[in-house]
Amino acid sequence: MKIKTGLIGFGRTGKAVASVVLQNKEFSLEWVYRKTTVLEHRSVPEFLGLQSDEPGLIFSAEHISIPDLLDHHPVDVLIDFSSAESIHIYGRYAAGKNIKIISAISHYAEAELTLLNELAELTTVFWSPNITLGVNYLLFSAKFLQHIAPGVDIEIIEEHFKQKEGVSGTAIKIAHALDLDISQINSVRAGGIVGKHELIFGFPFQTVRLIHESISREAFGNGAIFVARNLLPLPSGLYNFEDLLRPYFKF
Amino acid sequence: MKIKTGLIGFGRTGKAVASVVLQNKEFSLEWVYRKTTVLEHRSVPEFLGLQSDEPGLIFSAEHISIPDLLDHHPVDVLIDFSSAESIHIYGRYAAGKNIKIISAISHYAEAELTLLNELAELTTVFWSPNITLGVNYLLFSAKFLQHIAPGVDIEIIEEHFKQKEGVSGTAIKIAHALDLDISQINSVRAGGIVGKHELIFGFPFQTVRLIHESISREAFGNGAIFVARNLLPLPSGLYNFEDLLRPYFKF
Amino acid sequence: MKIKTGLIGFGRTGKAVASVVLQNKEFSLEWVYRKTTVLEHRSVPEFLGLQSDEPGLIFSAEHISIPDLLDHHPVDVLIDFSSAESIHIYGRYAAGKNIKIISAISHYAEAELTLLNELAELTTVFWSPNITLGVNYLLFSAKFLQHIAPGVDIEIIEEHFKQKEGVSGTAIKIAHALDLDISQINSVRAGGIVGKHELIFGFPFQTVRLIHESISREAFGNGAIFVARNLLPLPSGLYNFEDLLRPYFKF
Amino acid sequence: MKIKTGLIGFGRTGKAVASVVLQNKEFSLEWVYRKTTVLEHRSVPEFLGLQSDEPGLIFSAEHISIPDLLDHHPVDVLIDFSSAESIHIYGRYAAGKNIKIISAISHYAEAELTLLNELAELTTVFWSPNITLGVNYLLFSAKFLQHIAPGVDIEIIEEHFKQKEGVSGTAIKIAHALDLDISQINSVRAGGIVGKHELIFGFPFQTVRLIHESISREAFGNGAIFVARNLLPLPSGLYNFEDLLRPYFKF
């Protein structure tokens, strides 16, 4: 029996995540819920040209409410790749039905964080602004090395496509976690580079580099699957990616 | 008060280690003990052209025995960068005096391993065939990532100077620890590359790379200092590098 | 006035090339000619979801011959991303009409090479088994460095997705051009790496690395456009990528 | 018969260059000329611990003038790794004797450049502020790629040891040659990195990277030897590194 999944949001990343869930053998894509009516009632497998016997129907918030959706098309897990407001729409009803919530929203304001904590008393809630395994592993391992060698020089290089504006949010998050100054982030913008983050640890007589290279958005789908799989056995509470990685440290 | 250190072996790596210990503020280099009489009774600071008020006298096994040396020039820690046999010469007497033993010997046969375990009942003993912080961190972090993502594709690239023969021992050790086949090690030999080890973790939609670059042999000295500092508070027993890194994992 | 282009072949690379030509302002995609009847009479812009006023109709060899196609839908340049046999079908008729021919076929047998040379007496013909600018630049620059430093140690690392079988054809071509042994190519297969070729030049006291990273197949489209633009002013004859790069060397 | 070489300057780089010349079979190190009297009349081979039957005597400007030195200890080539003023001391007398001059001085003011041009009417004069083969090859190849793809996005990453102040002069020179803004140079300072320059060429669907990694200062010695070897057959005139690389471009 597959674990039933509902996806909130169907932008570029949402589509990539849907494609990964559809092709996964443990999780089924029951439906996608989105704001607009674009593609409403279409089937995701058919839209993406993928063979699948999972329903994957696209519903629009304009024509069906969350309670109706969750009552008639029940799921075990909700994955949210939409925008910050959505949690207000589905959060309480889903938590009340003990559906697990996985949010990959980039940024939440105070109000949403308060709500997440409330929901976490009823069900298992997860939030990470970057849900790829690679970036979270990098962050974790970097903190570990900094614990071992507190005085080591650290610099970050992040490379992205020419049009990307501002410093990468992931780089900023890493700099923050390592207590670096924003000036220690070097931003390269060139051509069509999908995304590369390099952490340089400079010792007097040796150099350690931790590098993450993005190939495509589907990495977010695999990250969501990893989170879902590790979240299932956990009791209610609010979790982040570090909470899920920690138990793998068994030496 | 500095912690008194004695160094066994004064080959190319031994010299680099001596230079690091001499310039360190926590540890003093009391003497160097070596097989041959080359440079006998010379002072290491003077030989290396370093300012220091530490004795750092060079003794030869031809003219002074370990008991005489340890009785008249007492130390807290022994660091061994010589060869596998040496442990038979200094091991029991040093352990009997509760001197801590740090061995960076590349390879020990069964007889030496048995001896190490005996000594570990009397004093604190450490052994690592590669004593640099960077390589050991890499190995540790790689195992951690493999725990998280058991099916991930892993390959190793090791690059060294043209003359280096055979596959890098460090690469073999990493491959062994990660249960890889020797065919997953790619050996590049070109020019004067000091030493680079790259671990590639290939995920479907992202790539993680862990890289260690050696700049010079002094890295072994800094590794030995790191080991000594972390070993001091530990009770008798046999330790490896992983044992010393584990406590830094506190998240 | 745009330069009229016809594309032979509509596999995965052909589609990526079509998308690049459609979005280019100097060249128009008049049509695609393919073996099968899949997508026959569909419009490429509509199929790819791209805005364009270029026809880009898909024709099948099953229902229209090359003479009919070239007479009723004339083009200035033919770009061939199909397979080795195609040149026998369109070659003579196109050359007779003085249409320039750009072939990106991976491998030609003796018979096709002979034909190419014949056609080159009538029109401007270009062939390169890898038509990306980056790889050809790498090859060219590598040969230049080898001229400068004939004894330098050279090694190649090529990285591709796990499923790719055999050593990369591009790496073999580079090894051949530099007179390297096949054992100097190190092949890494891991996850979803699109394609990376690294050339390492090891000098005694310094290392030079030339690296090419593929992001997506559209690079072949940009390569074909580069070739077409540089080929237009050239008289009849058979050209390769090196011929087109050489004139840019003006210092 | 070896080509007789005199070296001006015996700082850290001068020593490394001397060591390379001493170990080279085409060139002999006749002497070193330096400002101070430190090590005066010592032999370079003995000082560096190298076996050699070349004289390599150290002379001080305090006790012997250039005319006396050049008359009694004649050389074919002068290599200058000292400082900008030196050319005023040895330039005219050396040029008058038709001795070839190789200067690796980092920066010359207008007065010295004028003098260089005067000397170039009498003898063969070479000047390059960075005399390593690798960096000059990188610069050359980068300009070539920029000719081929004028609109490509270019960024520079330069990495050096923590203490290095300011942006790398080599990176500035490259940026200048490629008409880049200084903001396109990303400077990383960490630990003991000897020196790495990476040029990133970002195309929409592919990335090209040209990387130079320094291992040690001896690279300057090999660069000087390369220059000397290529300069010998050339008539009088002022040459730079590009002039020497250009003839190797023969395809």
Examine the pLDDT at B250 and tell me if it is beyond 80: no
B209, A210: Cβ pair inside 8 Å?
yes
CB A100 within 8 A of CB A74: no
Tell me what percent of chain B is helix, strand and coil, each rounded to the nearest 5: 35, 25, 35
For residues D199-211, give the mean pLDDT.
98
pLDDT of residue A94: 98
Handedness of CA B81, B84, B89, B90 (dihedral sign): positive
Parallel, antiparallel, or unpaired for β C206-214 and D206-214? Answer: antiparallel
pLDDT at B249: 87
Q: Does B115 contact chain D (CB < 8 Å)? A: no
Provide the pLDDT for residue A1: 87
C240 touching D, CB under 8 A?
no
Of B162, B186, B201, the CB nearest to C153: B162
pLDDT at C249: 87
Closest-approach residue (CA) in chain D for C134:
D208
Whether chain A has a CB inside 8 Å of the CB on B153: the answer is no
Q: With cut-offs at 50, 70 and 90, classify the pLDDT of residue C250.
A: confident
Q: Rounded to the nearest 5°, which phi and psi values hold at A135?
A: -65, -40
Whose CA is closest to A145, among D161, B145, B196, B248? B248
Cα angle for residues D124, D125, D131 (degrees, 5° grid): 130
Tell if the CB–CB gap between A200 and D188 is shorter than 8 Å: yes
Per-residue pLDDT for B118 more than 90? yes
Give D53 to chain B, closest Cα distance, Å: 25
CB–CB contact C189 B159 (8 Å): no
Q: D250 falls in which pLDDT band (50, 70, 90)?
A: confident
Partner chains of D (3+ C-beta pairs under 8 Å): A, B, C
Burial class (CB in 10 A: 0-12, 13-18, 19+), D250: exposed
Tell me which chain B residues have a C-beta less than 8 angstroms from the C-beta of C187.
186
Interface check for A24 against chain B (CB to CB < 8 A): the answer is no
Distance of CA A107 to the CA centre of its chain: 11
Residue B194: band (very low, low, confident or very high) from pLDDT cuts 50, 70, 90: very high
* Domain range list for chain A: 3-131+218-248, 133-213
pLDDT tens per residue across span D30-56: 999 999 999 999 999 999 989 899 999
What is the average pLDDT value for chain C, to the nearest integer? 96
Mean pLDDT confidence for C165-188: 96
Structure tokens at D96: 């008058």
Q: How far is D86 from chain B (nearest CA, A)?
A: 29
Calculate mean pLDDT across residues C203-213.
98
- Report the top-level CATH class of C3-131+218-248: alpha beta
Which residues in chain D have their CB less than 8 angstroms from residue C251's CB?
140, 143-144, 242, 246
Mutate to test the interface with C, among B145, B146, B158, B159 (most CBs of C within 10 A): B159
pLDDT at A8: 98
Show pLDDT as tens, one digit a residue, over chain A (251 residues). Answer: 899 999 999 999 999 999 999 999 999 999 999 999 999 999 999 999 898 999 999 999 999 999 999 999 999 999 999 999 999 999 999 999 999 999 999 999 999 999 999 999 999 999 999 999 999 999 999 999 999 999 999 999 999 999 999 999 999 999 999 999 999 999 999 999 999 999 999 999 999 999 999 999 999 999 999 999 999 999 999 999 999 999 998 76
Full 3-state SS string of C157-175: EEEECCCCCCCCHHHHHHH
CB-based burial label for B12 (10 Å; 0-12, 13-18, 19+): exposed
Residues 6+ apart with CB under 8 A from D53: none
Q: Which chain A residue's Cα is nearest to C192?
A: A215
CB-nearest partner of C149 from D133, D211, D216: D133
Chain D residue at shortest CA distance from B213? D193
pLDDT tens-digit map of D51-97: 899 999 999 999 999 999 999 999 999 999 999 999 999 999 999 99
**Diameter of chain D by CA atoms?**
64
> Mean pLDDT lowest for which of A40-54, B213-227, C136-150, D174-188?
A40-54
Q: In whole angstroms, how far apart are CA B16 and each of B10, B222, D15, D163?
A: 9, 10, 20, 21
What DSSP letter does each residue of A87-156 carry, written as one string? HHHHHHHHHHTT-EEEE--S---HHHHHHHHHHTTTSEEEE-SS--HHHHHHHHHHHHHHHHSTT-EEEE
pLDDT for D251 beyond 90: no
CB–CB contact A202 D186 (8 Å): no
**D216 Cβ under 8 Å from any chain B Cβ:** yes
Confidence of residue D170 (pLDDT cuts 50, 70, 90): very high
Chain A (164-193) residues lying within 8 Å, Cβ to Cβ, of chain C: 191-193
C215–A contact, CB cutoff 8 A: yes
Alpha carbon distance D220, D17 (integer Å): 6
Torsion of CA C68, C69, C74, C78, to 10 degrees: -130
Integer Cα distance of C249 and D214 in angstroms: 27
- Distance from the first to the final alpha carbon of chain D: 33
What the block records as the tokens of D4 is 């007789």
pLDDT score for C49: 85
- Yes or no, beta carbons of B134 and A206 under 8 Å apart: yes
CATH of domain C133-213: 3.30.360.10
Q: At A208, is the secondary structure helix, strand, or coil?
A: strand
Residue with tokens 């471009």: D249
D248, burial (CB in 10 Å: exposed 0-12, middle 13-18, buried 19+): middle
The alpha carbon torsion through C86, C89, C92, C98 (nearest 10 deg) reads: -70
- Average the pLDDT over B89-115 and give the result: 97
pLDDT at C186: 98
Q: How many Å apart are CA A177 and CA A135, to the nearest integer?
A: 13
Reported as a single tens digit per residue, the pLDDT across D91-112 is 999 999 999 999 999 999 999 9
Whether the Cβ atoms of residue D51 and residue D44 lie closer than 8 Å to each other: no
When the pLDDT of each residue in chain B is averaged and rounded to a whole number, the result is 96
CA distance C54 to C28: 6
Q: Band of the pLDDT at D158, cuts 50, 70, 90? A: very high
Return d(Cα D11, Cα A69) in angstroms, integer. 78
Contact status of A159 with chain D (Cβ, < 8 Å): yes
Burial C145-179 (b: 16+ CB within 10 A, else e): bbebbeebbbbbbbbbbeeeeebbebbbbbbeebe
As a whole number, mean pLDDT of residues C168-195 equals 96
In this prediction, residue C247 carries a pLDDT of 93
pLDDT at C203 over 90: yes
C145–B contact, CB cutoff 8 A: no
Name the minimum distance, in Å, from the CA of B154 to any CA of chain C.
7
Q: Closest Cα of chain C to B19: distance in Å?
A: 23
Instruction: Give dist(CA B142, CA B198) in Å, integer.
Output: 11
Q: Average pLDDT in the B147-175 region?
A: 96
What is residue D249's predicted lDDT score, i.e. its pLDDT?
Answer: 87
Contact A240, A108 (CB under 8 A): no
Across C57-72, average pLDDT: 97
Alpha-carbon distance A48 to nearest alpha carbon in chain C (angstroms): 13
Assembly ipTM: 0.94
Exposure string for B103-129, b = 16+ CB within 10 A, e = fewer: bbbeebeeebeebbeebbebbbbbbbb
Nearest CA in chain D to C244: D148
Closest residue by Cα to residue D229 from D88, D131, D94: D131
Do D193 and A186 make contact, defined as CB atoms within 8 angstroms? no
Contact A207 D191 (CB under 8 A): yes
CB contact under 8 A, C190 and B206: no
pTM (global) more than 0.90? yes
